[in-house]
Amino acid sequence: MRSVMRVLTAGCAAALLVLPVLAFEAPGVGAAVPHALTVPAQVSASDWSVAPGPTPVPSNSFAESVSCVASTFCVGVGHLDPLFYVQQWNGAAWSQAALPAVSGANPELSAVSCASASWCVAVGTDDFTNFSPLILQWDGSRWSVAQDANTPDEAVLHSVSCAGPSWCLAVGSDGTASTAIAEQWNGTSWTPITLPSLPGSTSSELVGVSCSTPTSCMAVGSNTTGTGGAPLAEYWNGVGWTVVPTVDFPGGFSNFSGVSCSGTGFCAAAGNGSASGPGAALVEQWNGSTFTKAVLPDVTALNSGLSGISCVSATSCTTVGVADTGPSTNVAIAMTWDGQTWRMPSLPSGSAGARTGLGGVSCVTNWACMAVGDSIDGSTITPFNVMAPIARNGYRFVASDGGVFAYGPGAPFLGSMGGQHLNAPIVGMATMPAGDGYYLVAADGGVFNFGSAQFYGSAGSLHLNAPIVGMAMTADGAGYWLVASDGGIFSYGDAQFYGSTGSLKLNKPVVGMAATPNGLGYYFVAADGGIFNYGNAAFAGSMGGQSLNKAIVGMAVPSAGGYYLVASDGGIFSFPIGAAGPPFFGSTGSITLNKPIVGMATASGGYYLSGSDGGIFSFPGGGAPPFFGSTGSITLNAPIVGVSG
């Protein structure tokens, strides 16, 4: 952010060189008929407010990047003259983190990426004067130096993206050779990766990177030739790199400053560019093969640039930056994408006469977007952090006949299988990350997709050893798993197979599954409360071997990790037990129910339980999460079998 505010001056051409850092199955197999209506859920950040900053307020601090994994955990990094700077969000306020010593005299952090509350990587330089790469790692309790003063000399790392604790990718530039560089973390060490050559290039650098999976990363920056500067994008497929064509401004200068990918088929890159004159905010969107220039709101300013971007899905992105409204007058800006249109919400201002700018943003589905930057008031520079809730409130029920019942603004009705012939009853549903699509799954493994949900395959034509009982989505919405009652797993799209209980003798049948927040692992739960964990899913306890009043019927994983189990009487069991686990907000375990509980869904600030009659119970009470309605008083053609937030 510091470099953005430094170059965005009235009429300055240098501002253009900002360096901040549906497929369907045959009938009878299980795919839904096409539906023309796709209604983007209300997920665009809109109502921005100042997020409480660190106390005491650090002076001369420049926040450049932020990464959030839950409503209770974010990390922001930057520069606290003359040292590096890390701040952590605990759900209520920001505080400064204790940092290790480094060899350089002027360290600065440019970017941070957190895969969980116990794994983050921050990158930058250990000396802002001499430029040597710096990498810090967070293990859940402390920050440590992973790389300091490493070769190449005069190099700096501008961005990092972690798909998990065993895979990260960092990118930057080598000042000596004037070329882009990249380093890869394999869970043990950091090693350089060779990038493609750029014919005719006089200089290049990568300043943003986003990895949906270890085999799908987009890195962006700028490439300068004899005729000007152009945005640079390079794609990593797990084996090698490919240069991806971008939209250029012939004869001018343009660059990307950040990128965010949702799945393997959608990325959005932000920066600025112009054919001539002052720079203008720039966003280009990638559909899996090509970039196209987005139509952005007009910024009434002499100069504007975007530096950070975060996409929770292909229909929900937020980008932030700064606009130069006059000599020594800067204001922070933000733009949001709802799947159809980019809009520019109003932002809170700093103190009277202060110049504000935002350098990074991170959005968490079902919670909020958090943006970090700085405010300059005279000669005093302080953190400027703002946040906006994501309007993702709502839930849906599905009945065994495929009927779908939708409630709340963030859960639009996009179609159902109600009234259509099914080979087997529906047993569950899963919702796209942005809420603008969903899947239904039948006991024979047939999959039906609606809205933005894409069909990647099903088990509808296979002979199954045991019936399907549930499904779970990958974090990017580009894949899903089906689980059978014997714990057999069927993976589709970008969903990876991590293991199953299909060959084991179980005490009780599997009744449900849930994926980890980053989609690199999953859990099964059996009717006796036994837990089976695979991939990066950490075992935190179970009810296996313990006496239950009623059988377990499902589970849910909140964004902060851990998991809940729910029984048919509405009893709730949260793991890990205690302060480290997801909070217990209440249950129906002591209430006489009209019908048994069949499932649960987590929501911002709590969770929902659903009965087979569609009765909904929200915890904690008092409107968080809000009650939007239910089918509890409606005569249904078939019982409810699942609920999805």
More confident: 275 or 356: 356
Q: Collapsing DSSP states into helix, strand and coil, what is residue 309?
A: strand
Tracing tokens 């993702």 back to the chain, one arrives at 392
Average pLDDT over residues 109-135: 89
Res. 391 pLDDT band, cuts 50 70 90:
low
Q: What ranges make up the beta strands (E) of 126-240?
A: 133-138, 143-148, 155-164, 167-174, 179-185, 190-193, 203-213, 216-225, 228-236
Quick one: which of 578, 484, 567, 580 has its CA closest to 532?
Answer: 484
Flag the least confident range among 52-56, 187-191, 202-206, 238-242: 52-56
Q: Is there a contact between 428 and 469 (Cβ–Cβ < 8 Å)? A: yes
Q: Is there a contact between 342 and 299 (Cβ–Cβ < 8 Å)? A: no
Element holding 308 (H helix, E strand) = strand 303-313
Res. 544 pLDDT band, cuts 50 70 90:
very high
Res. 525 pLDDT band, cuts 50 70 90:
very high
- Could you report how far apart the first and last alpha carbons of the chain are, in Å? 35
Res. 25 pLDDT band, cuts 50 70 90:
very low
Average pLDDT over residues 577-602: 91
Partners of residue 260 on adjacent β-strands: 268
Half-sphere exposure of 283 (CA within 13 A, CB side): 26
Q: Is residue 548 classed exposed, middle or buried when 0-12, 13-18 and 19+ CB atoms within 10 A define those classes?
A: middle
Tokens read off for 645: 């937030």
Residue 507 is given by DSSP the state S
Tokens read off for 170: 């960092």
pLDDT of amino acid 23: 26
Element holding 5 (H helix, E strand) = helix 2-7
The pair phi, psi for residue 6, each rounded to 5°, is: -70, -35
Mean of all residue pLDDT scores within the chain = 85
Q: Is there a contact between 434 and 22 (Cβ–Cβ < 8 Å)? A: no
Q: What is the CA radius of gyration of the chain?
A: 25
Q: How far apart are CA 412 and CA 405, in angstroms?
A: 9
Average pLDDT over residues 224-229: 76
Quick one: which of 546, 577, 552 has its CA closest to 566?
Answer: 552
Average pLDDT over residues 67-89: 86
Average pLDDT over residues 134-142: 93
Polymer length in residues for the chain: 645
Q: How far apart are CA 79 and CA 65, in angstroms?
A: 10
Q: How far apart are CA 297 and CA 288, in angstroms?
A: 25
CA angle 36, 39, 41 (to 5 degrees): 155
pLDDT of amino acid 410: 76
Res. 153 pLDDT band, cuts 50 70 90:
low
> What are the CA-CA distances from residue 413 to residues 264, 317, 404, 431 (Å)?
26, 22, 7, 12
The answer, yes or no, to whether residue 181 has pLDDT greater than 60, is yes
Res. 37 pLDDT band, cuts 50 70 90:
very low
Flag the least confident range among 42-51, 162-171, 199-208, 274-283: 42-51
Q: How far apart are CA 200 and CA 444, in angstroms?
A: 56
Tracing tokens 């949702």 back to the chain, one arrives at 262
Q: How far apart are CA 321 and CA 340, in angstroms?
A: 21
Quick one: which of 525, 599, 519 has its CA closest to 167?
Answer: 519
Residue % of the chain over a pLDDT of 90: 54
More confident: 222 or 380: 222
Res. 438 pLDDT band, cuts 50 70 90:
very high
Flag the least confident range among 193-202, 355-364, 384-393: 384-393
Average pLDDT over residues 133-152: 84
The pair phi, psi for residue 305, each rounded to 5°, is: -155, 150
pLDDT of amino acid 308: 96
The answer, yes or no, to whether residue 409 has pLDDT greater than 90, is no
Res. 30 pLDDT band, cuts 50 70 90:
very low
pLDDT of amino acid 63: 86
pLDDT of amino acid 509: 97
pLDDT tens digits, one per residue of 456-478: 999 999 999 999 999 999 877 78
pLDDT tens digits, one per residue of 493-519: 989 999 999 888 999 999 999 998 778
More confident: 312 or 240: 240
